[in-house]
Structure 1
């Protein structure tokens, strides 16, 4: 029995030593260079800028939306983006959070048509009301692809949540169209080169044209593509997180409450155990 156990032990030690040698051998072997990927080589990360809703230090813990910026962003969306992209998760009455009055919201809603049925049950349309959501640009994905040459323009309601570093990503993407394409990147003729897009080749034509002054801001803000992209990115951040400010306020209140309760608990601990530590009964 002792001899059999010794053989088992020796076999275990041998296998362990073989495993260690194999691991060490793999560690010292030269690594093979991964194949060159022009997409990874030329892909750019979003430019980081300061946003009012990210608060102090751009950390996202505090901060509030700039209402004037949100209204400008909504203006850019309506005049540029809404031709292809919907924001179907947003109701017209939600626009009151941007600083629009009730009557203004009614006027904005009345400019849109939404699906309805008549008294006979037949499909029809009617002017939207504040209770309605922004209508879809296309009735379904097939219709959207047919109108866009096979590309599918996504709904933008949650786009900044669906993309990493969404607010900065949207802004960088809108400003990222380039005429010069790297020689080692084969771009299809039907697509546009944009190093901020995942595949570098995007089906959406450049929506913001430099020096075109596509949107006339009513508050006098300079009409530049940088301002257009920044403002619409902020607006789409709001559509994705309309309760962002409330969430931050609740979080800060909860942290303040926990700090106060921790301090009171410490004082209670000191008072209750003070005499016990001195050897006196509590």
Structure 2
């Protein structure tokens, strides 16, 4: 026992008190040993860090308020929350909207047909979707390129062979790729929904060039993409009424899934991690109380031997 107490004192986990020998050691985990300069430095660091964070937040809010575009309303998405998952029926309907409406101009270059398996389609259905497109492949043994039906490993093809062709077909505007559009736009799926449903007549004083349309949610208001979602603009295989707002909601959900295909798996892992670490925390707390209870309740006393 004396050897153990000596090692603890030598490691400076205990502090000495008393001015005459012999000395007794007691446990000390407080901050009384901190110097005045260290306390001042830590306090200053905390104040400066908090001030910088508040300044950055205020600057961001002021920049948003000074913009000319309208701010989209937050919609009650089914996947909005730490422990909520995608509505896979909505994701499938959103894919159908993309296929029938958006695919003509926009690409999904980071999404492969295999990503649809067990999310929106079965494996056989995903293979059938891939086989509907012809993919350029090669070269073969003779050095020639050829076209073949798509496979699950193929990515969604671009509607245009290159950027120049895309601009030429859209009056100089380049349709962006939609794979990461939700993550790349402030507001996420709220912005996509508001943009698709927010087309209005240009207000007085706003001059639009030929081929442009007015959308208050688009930066600057002038957007080259015309309104594409109208009632019955697409057809759902599950019989859901294809209203403009329903299609906008479904395609926004689908594009959110395209930006984060692993979202459901990550949130499921979060639930598992919380459960596992909660049990481990309880075990560690009990073990700590069990191991330290003897030291916290122990009293050391020195009884000098009387000299005769």
**2:277 maps to what in 1?**
258
Greater radius of gyration (CA): 2
RMSD value, Cα: 1.9
Equivalent position to 2:91, from 61, 66, 70: 70
Task: Note if 1:232 corresponds to 2:251.
Answer: yes
Q: Tell me if the contact between 2:189 and 2:256 (Cα under 8 Å) persists in the aligned partners.
A: yes
Aligned-residue offset at 1:280: 5.3
Aligned-residue offset at 1:234: 0.4
How many residues in Structure 1 have an aligned counterpart in Structure 2?
Answer: 235
The Cα offsets for residues 20-74 of structure 1, whole Å up to 9 and x where unpaired, read as xxxxxxxxxxxxxxxxxxx9565211221111222xxxxx311111111111111
Q: List runs of 5+ in structure 2 lacking aligned partners.
A: 1-64, 301-308
**1:247 maps to what in 2?**
266
Task: Note if 1:93 corresponds to 2:114.
Answer: yes
**TM-score, normalised with respect to structure 2:** 0.72
Change (3 A) 1:153 1:259: same
Aligned-residue offset at 1:75: 0.5
Q: List runs of 5+ in structure 1 lacking aligned partners.
A: 1-38, 55-59
Could you tell me how far apart the structure 1 residues matched to 2:252 and 2:79 are? 12
Could you tell me how far apart the structure 2 residues matched to 1:246 and 1:110 are? 28
Could you tell me how far apart the structure 2 residues matched to 1:52 and 1:172 are? 17
**2:153 maps to what in 1?**
131
Aligned-residue offset at 1:244: 0.4
The Cα offsets for residues 236-264 of structure 1, whole Å up to 9 and x where unpaired, read as 11111111011111122223333332222
Q: How does 1:133-282 map to 2 (within 5 A)?
A: 133-179=155-201, 181-209=202-230, 212-279=231-298
Q: Tell me if the contact between 2:69 and 2:219 (Cα under 8 Å) persists in the aligned partners.
A: yes
Could you tell me how far apart the structure 1 residues matched to 2:149 and 2:73 are? 40
**2:29 maps to what in 1?**
none
Could you tell me how far apart the structure 1 residues matched to 2:143 and 2:79 are? 46
Could you tell me how far apart the structure 1 residues matched to 2:67 and 2:297 are? 69
Could you tell me how far apart the structure 2 residues matched to 1:257 and 1:187 are? 58
**1:35 maps to what in 2?**
none
Any idea what SS the aligned residue of 1:53 has? coil
The Cα offsets for residues 118-139 of structure 1, whole Å up to 9 and x where unpaired, read as 4422233221111211111112
Q: Which has the higher helix share?
A: 1
**1:105 maps to what in 2?**
126
**1:19 maps to what in 2?**
none
Q: How does 1:37-56 map to 2 (within 5 A)?
A: 40=66, 42-54=68-80
